[in-house]
Chains A and B, each alone.
Chain A
């Protein structure tokens, strides 16, 4: 085999390898602008049950079947959680009144009393529960707060947002999901 032929074969193999790498990269799941990748998106939402940090009442995700549920993992020691707190309260106030969506907070690696104080100080009125042993956080694959998941009315995880959220950002995602559901 001539040197030229060998070079052509080597070149062809290199090009094929590059094309295969690009194709594999493109086939991997991608995150959208606002949302982050989560393997849970599209799957049935793991159960959430716990005691309210403020009132001690039982809170369960299954009670909210039929509406969008925003699940927000937070901690009192997390600065971005402090930043998003007023936006979350605004979102809860607007959306729960319109019966479109609701919000559940889940404490992440925090002391219950400190987390409850954080909720009182930020004026949160939405139900927020303790998560001893981070069982719920592990079920949702949370690596750190703030992390937010949106659950569809049928009980499936439809979005995951890593980092602080705003009420307008959440509303945009939910409106898009509602449009997609209706079409």
Chain B
């Protein structure tokens, strides 16, 4: 659908609203604690947050996978497994990331996992 009724004034407003709210959520903690003393529990957050968020971002990336449908998220899980193994083995971040990404691109563009799975189900 092409929205011809959305005028350019509207898109400017959308951009302004989105920009202001995004800026607000990013600046909020810094504004809030500008003059206030930081509570004790912030130490826990400062220490443990990066590790927790890193792993949560992996979950977030898997959020759009449809687990109930062929290929059942298998391309994603297999590639994450490859990235993790390669990284534990070689410890080279760029190598792990690019190898995993190339395999994933092959999986999605060739649909090979779907083909294999349907073959297996047929047998």
Task: Tell me if chain B binds chain A.
Answer: no
